[in-house]
Amino acid sequence: MLVKHLTLTDFRNYQHADIDLNPGVTLFVGRNGQGKTNLVEAVRYLATLNSHRVAGYIPLIRQDQPSAIVRALASHAGRDALIELELNRGSPNRARINKANPTKTRDILGYINCVVFAPEDLDIIKKDPSNRRAFIDELVVQVWPRFAGVYSDYERVLKQRNTLLRTARQTGSRTTALSTLDAWDSQLVGYGTEIIVARMQLIERLRPLLTKAYQAIAETNNEPRILVRSSLFASATNASATFESSDDESDLGLLETSDREVIHEAFKAKLSEIRPRELERGITLVGPHRDDLLLMLGTLPAKGYASHGECWSFALGLRLASIDLLRNETQSGDPILILDDVFAELDAGRRTRLAQLVANNEQVLITAAVAEDVPETLLAATFHVKHGTVAAEEPMVNDD
Ligand SMILES: Nc1ncnc2c1ncn2[C@@H]1O[C@H](COP(=O)(O)OP(=O)(O)OP(=O)(O)O)[C@@H](O)[C@H]1O
Ligand SMILES: [Mg+2]
């Protein structure tokens, strides 16, 4: 698929931008802070309702403006769809598809698919579990858009359950809390099980694609593996140590099934086992919001062991595998590839191989501070980005 036309109004540092895009590679060049990432972030936001830079959407609205509008003409197999998203500071956000009546923002998911490569991808390998959950959850939502609703239901239940636990702890009124807690538990387990199963099903499909992608980008025989570590299977003996922080990875158990029934029962059992501790802490201690992926390279975890170059290969491998996955599992063909400032970070070998691997994708959007950072094979249609304006072809002379 591709985006043929992109219009931004009061989005980030753009007052207004109107850009025609073609199939193949498009390069956005400009100095730091001019708006290159903002531009591709707009495409990504339409695809995922997520940014790779911030949580929430308020930072996407131009300073001192009440709302931002992003509009894209998406196209696949000769069929066009006009996707429009309005982000409002003071009122609910709205979306429109093909100029129809406004609808929920979530309804636009599935129209545009994209895979973003960015320097922040290293965080998936090196940093805390929230980065790995974000990686897998974003893929789940792109492959099965209805999951956006499941995630938001889960978050709502989690928040309300946490409020209840916190109140019970503060007031010491455990009996009233306990009766209400049961109702929340069944919802938490219901939505949570769906999320855990979806993540597992996706990871099962991602595994062979990752092996292939890693070998293509790293040219080594090391076997990358993705294992799932779950708070549902954390060892009971170490429970007090395990659950101290929401991102403690030390002691999670391996989850090796995607069987809904098994996961559902394990979730229920763990919740009742952990309940005294939850009342003591005033917070929900088990569920997909506490789970993690264990990324292995050979027999060692990538985190804490892999070299910087190996971490890059793993991160690129995950993104390349995501491309194949979206191509296989959705009706949209090639996802749009966004390479935000990655080439400057890579060594010559990975640069060249990455360029080869993405070159034939239906649409590739690349940002770079200078065109020299981008492999020659990818030099194509170029836009110059400056102070929130985008101009095709001719570089601007005055560069103040
Ligand atoms: N909501 C907003 N309103 C106005 N300006 C904003 C907003 N959000 C970000 N900006 C501005 O946009 C600029 C950043 O743009 P962007 O991240 O796209 O830069 P870039 O061209 O990708 O730079 P680099 O090469 O450093 O990555 C910053 O100057 C920032 O102040
Ligand atoms: Mg940038």
* Residue 377, in any domain of the structure: yes
What's the pLDDT at 172?
A: 74
* Residue 92, in any domain of the structure: yes
* Residue 15, in any domain of the structure: yes
- The residue whose C-alpha atom lies closest to atom 25 belonging to ligand 1 is 32
Asked whether 138 lines ligand 1 (CB < 6 A), one says no
What's the pLDDT at 27?
A: 97
CA angle 227–147–244, rounded 5-degree value: 50
Asked whether 34 lines ligand 1 (CB < 6 A), one says yes
* Residue 146, in any domain of the structure: no
- The residue whose C-alpha atom lies closest to atom 8 belonging to ligand 1 is 12
What's the CA gap between 332 and 63, in Å, rounded? 35
What's the pLDDT at 241?
A: 42
What's the CA gap between 196 and 203, in Å, rounded? 11
User: CA 43, 46, 52, 54 torsion: positive or negative?
Assistant: positive
Output the pTM of the full model: 0.93
What's the CA gap between 313 and 252, in Å, rounded? 26
Per-residue pLDDT tens digits for 188-198: 999 999 999 99
DSSP collapsed to 3 states, 67-78:
EEEEEEEEEECC
What's the pLDDT at 51?
A: 79
Q: Are strands 24-29 and 381-386 parallel, antiparallel or unpaired?
A: parallel
Q: Which atom of ligand 1 is nearest to the CA of 38?
A: 18
* Residue 194, in any domain of the structure: no
What's the CA gap between 49 and 41, in Å, rounded? 10
Asked whether 75 lines ligand 1 (CB < 6 A), one says no
What's the pLDDT at 400?
A: 53
What's the CA gap between 340 and 35, in Å, rounded? 11
**Closest listed ligand to the CA of 385:** 1
What's the pLDDT at 331?
A: 94
CB 128 within 8 A of CB 293: no
* Residue 240, in any domain of the structure: no
CB 199 within 8 A of CB 144: no
CATH number, residue 369: 3.40.50.300
Near ion ligand 2, which residues have CB within 5 Å?
A: 36-37
- The residue whose C-alpha atom lies closest to atom 9 belonging to ligand 1 is 12
Question: How many domains in the chain?
Answer: 1
Asked whether 13 lines ligand 1 (CB < 6 A), one says yes
Residue 81 lies in domain: 1-113+336-400
Asked whether 33 lines ligand 1 (CB < 6 A), one says yes
Q: Residue 257's closest CA among 206, 193, 209? A: 193
What are the CA-CA distances from residue 35 to residues 17, 86, 100, 282, 340 (Å)? 11, 19, 30, 43, 11
What's the CA gap between 388 and 120, in Å, rounded? 23
What's the pLDDT at 399?
A: 54
Regions of the chain short of the pLDDT cut 70: 174, 236-251, 394-400
What's the pLDDT at 239?
A: 45
Phi, psi of 28, deg, nearest 5: -110, 115
* Residue 126, in any domain of the structure: no
* Residue 286, in any domain of the structure: no
What's the pLDDT at 187?
A: 97
